[in-house]
A and B are shown apart, each in its own frame.
Chain A
């Protein structure tokens, strides 16, 4: 008997945004991630971003990651942009029947960070198990 363990797991940790009361300055950090697993296949993606506006200058940073395990796997991650950063991470694993997939998209803007992760685990003959998670944080407008 084939044991199938569909699993969709997502985590969101977002940091609060803080800002100075007299100027539009502050910091924000957020991220999201998720894992999908079915049979012997698993796929995980995540993204974490930070933005900081201070008298020393504006700054942002974004990190993305993807990991997959199984018979056939595919992973991809990328970050594009300069001041406004856009990140993508994708992971997929399948064995011809079961399939696990995860996808994270992050937007690191001048005053906010937003990350979303969608996961999906599917086995033949059954409905797909989907999950969505989101982490976002913004510097309050003055």
Chain B
């Protein structure tokens, strides 16, 4: 084995370690079904919003024909996990979100202001 081959192997090992590092790892999932969509991300370290909610429940059954889209966004206290769901206007829709203690849950769209709850 010559020196050139050894150097290349070390370079690949370094790249593999960097790829497996959780500090850099970020995974996500996106889902779309009909007029609604949702995403979830984990591993990122975006600056979190001010935590105020631990669990929040979305609107139960509401008519969204005459208002904007409805959605919810959840971000954990340390910003390493987030999830969201949103529904397009029309018909009936409901969204809900929750997170680990310290998470920030924010509703937007129809009835956003009076549907926030903390526990």
Q: How many A-B residue pairs have CB under 8 A?
A: 267
Complex interface: chain B residues within 8 A of A67 (CB): 34-36, 87-88, 91-94
Most-contacted residue by chain B among A20, A42, A78 (CB, 10 A) = A78
**Partner among B25, B37, B77 whose Cβ is within 8 Å of the Cβ of A18:** B25
Most-contacted residue by chain B among A16, A37, A47, A117 (CB, 10 A) = A47
Main secondary structure of the interface of A (DSSP, over half): strand
In the complex, the answer to whether B31 meets A61 with C-beta atoms within 8 Å is no
In the complex, the answer to whether B38 meets A46 with C-beta atoms within 8 Å is yes
**Partner among B25, B29, B38, B45 whose Cβ is within 8 Å of the Cβ of A65:** B38
Complex interface: chain B residues within 8 A of A63 (CB): 38-40, 72-74, 83-85, 95-97
CA distance A131 to B33 in the complex (A): 13
26 A-B residue pairings within 8 Å (CB atoms): A11-B33, A27-B80, A46-B32, A48-B31, A49-B40, A50-B27, A50-B41, A52-B43, A54-B23, A56-B78, A59-B77, A59-B99, A60-B76, A61-B97, A62-B74, A62-B83, A62-B97, A63-B96, A64-B38, A68-B93, A75-B92, A77-B85, A77-B95, A79-B56, A89-B94, A135-B29
Complex interface: chain B residues within 8 A of A105 (CB): none
Complex interface: chain B residues within 8 A of A74 (CB): 61, 92
- Would you list which residues of chain B between 1 and 52 have a CB under 8 Å from chain A? 20-23, 25-43, 45
Closest 4 CB pairs of A and B: A44-B34, A33-B33, A59-B76, A79-B98
